[in-house]
Amino acid sequence: MSGVHARGVRRFHFARDVEEALSLLAAYEGRGALLAGGVDLLRSLRVDIEGLIDITRIGLSYTKEARGGLAIGGTTTLTSILESRAAREYGGGILADLLHRVAVPPLRNMATLGGALVSAHPWADIPTALVALGAEVRWQGEKEGRVPVEELYQGPFRGLFRQAVAIEVLLPPWDGAFAYEKVGRTGYDIALLNACCGVGVEGGRIAWARVAVGARPDRGERLPWAEEALIGQRPSQTLWQEVQDLVAKRIEVGDDRRASGAWRREVAGVLVERALARASGRAGM
C-alpha cells in the first residue's frame, strides 16, 4: 500500500475536450494517465506516471435517457448518478440499489462510472452490475468504438484505456427489473461476494433473465446456465430456490484472504435467490 507515487508525477493537465486528452496521453507515450475521480489512481501501484490528465472538465458528466435506457457520461460521479431522476426509475431502481452499497458518500462524490469501469477490480460491484445489465461502452482513441462491457472484460481492456477515453456507458432498456445483493464485512466494505439479477415476464412466464455473480473472487460474470434455467418458467419462490441450488452446485468460486470458496459457493446461491426474488417483486410479478 504505497499510496500516491507523486514522486514521478511532473505535470498535471486539465484537458478541455476528448481530443486534447488523447493527444496529451499520446504525447506521454505510456507515462501519462487519465485522471477522473482519482480514488483508484491514488491507490494504484503504478510508479511510471509522469503526467496526469484530468478529464472531469471535458463534458462527460451526465445521466440521461436514451432510447428507453440510459446514457451515462464517462466522468459522471456515482453520487450524481444516484441523484439523477433518470437513473432512479431505470431497471426497477437497480442503480440506487447498487450505488448505495458502493464505498461511502465522500468517495462516491469523487469516484466516476468510467473509473469504475476501467479499474474493474475483481471484488468491485459496478462491473458485476454492468455485465448483468448488458451495458455497452462507447470509447474514443485513435479510433472510436462501442463494445458490450461483458465482451470488453474478456479481452485486454486495460491496454485499450491507456490510449482511449471511455466516453459513455449505455444501459439498454429492460422490460422487467433488477436487484443487487452484496455481502461485506462492514457497511462500507468491498464485497466478499456480490450478485446482480434481473427478470422480465410475459404471459406469466419468464421472458428474459440475467444472473451475474462477482467477487467470486474473480470479476463479476454472467451465469448463462442459470439464466436458461429461468427462461420460460413461471416465476415462483420454488423456482428461485431451484436456481439457488443450481448456482451453489455449478458456480466457479475460489479462496482468497477475505473468504473461502466453500462459503462463496453456498452464499452465491443465496444471493442469487434473494436478488431474483426482489427483482421479480419489483417487476410486479
| 50, 54, 189, 218: which one binds another protein (CB under 8 A) | 189
Give residues with Cβ within 8 angstroms of 244, minimum separation 6. Answer: 269, 270, 272, 273
Interaction mask 76-115, another protein, x per CB under 8 A: ----------------------------x-----------
Residues of span 218-257 touching ligand FAD by CB under 6 A: none
What does the block give as the cell for 248?
451453489
> What CA–CA distance (Å, rounded) separates 10 from 37?
19
Residue 209 CB coordination number (10 Å):
26
For helices 261-282 and 237-250, what crossing angle results, to 10°? 150
The C-alpha angle 267, 268, 270, rounded to 5 degrees, equals 60
Minimum distance, C-beta of residue 185 to another protein, in the bound complex (Å): 4
Residue with cell 452446485: 249
Helix (H, G, I), strand (E, B) or coil at 257: coil
Give, as ranges, the residues between 17 and 56 that touch ligand FAD (CB under 6 A): 33-41, 43, 55
Q: How far is the CB of 223 from another protein (least distance, A)?
A: 18
Q: Site residues for another protein, window 32-51 (CB under 8 A)?
A: 43
Tell me which of ligand FAD, another protein, none is bound by residue 107, counting a contact when its beta carbon lies within the kind-specific cut-off of 5 to 8 angstroms: ligand FAD
Q: How far apart, in Å, do the first and last CA atoms of the chain sit? A: 47
Contact between 15 and ligand FAD by CB under 6 A: the answer reads no
Give yes or no for a contact between 213 and 222, defined as CB atoms under 8 angstroms apart. Answer: no
Residue 7 binds which of ligand FAD, another protein, none (CB < 5-8 A, kind-dependent): another protein
Strand order across the 69-73 sheet: 63-66, 69-73, 165-171, 136-140, 144-148
H or E stretch at 21: helix 18-27
Which range of residues in 63-71, 143-151, 186-194, 208-216 is near another protein by CB under 8 A? 186-194
Q: Is residue 266 a contact residue for another protein (CB under 8 A)?
A: yes
**CA dihedral of residues 246, 247, 249, 254 (deg, nearest 10):** 170
Of the pair 171, 193, the CB lying nearest another protein is at 193
List the x/- string, 192-211, binding to another protein by CB under 8 A: x-------------------
- Residue from 76, 84, 119, 280 touching ligand FAD (CB under 6 A): that is 119
Give residues in contact with ligand FAD (CB under 6 A): 33-41, 43, 55, 74-75, 102-103, 107, 110-112, 114-116, 118-119, 124-126, 161, 165-166, 190
Give residues in contact with another protein (CB under 8 A): 1, 3, 7, 43, 104, 183-190, 192, 257-260, 263, 266-267, 270-271
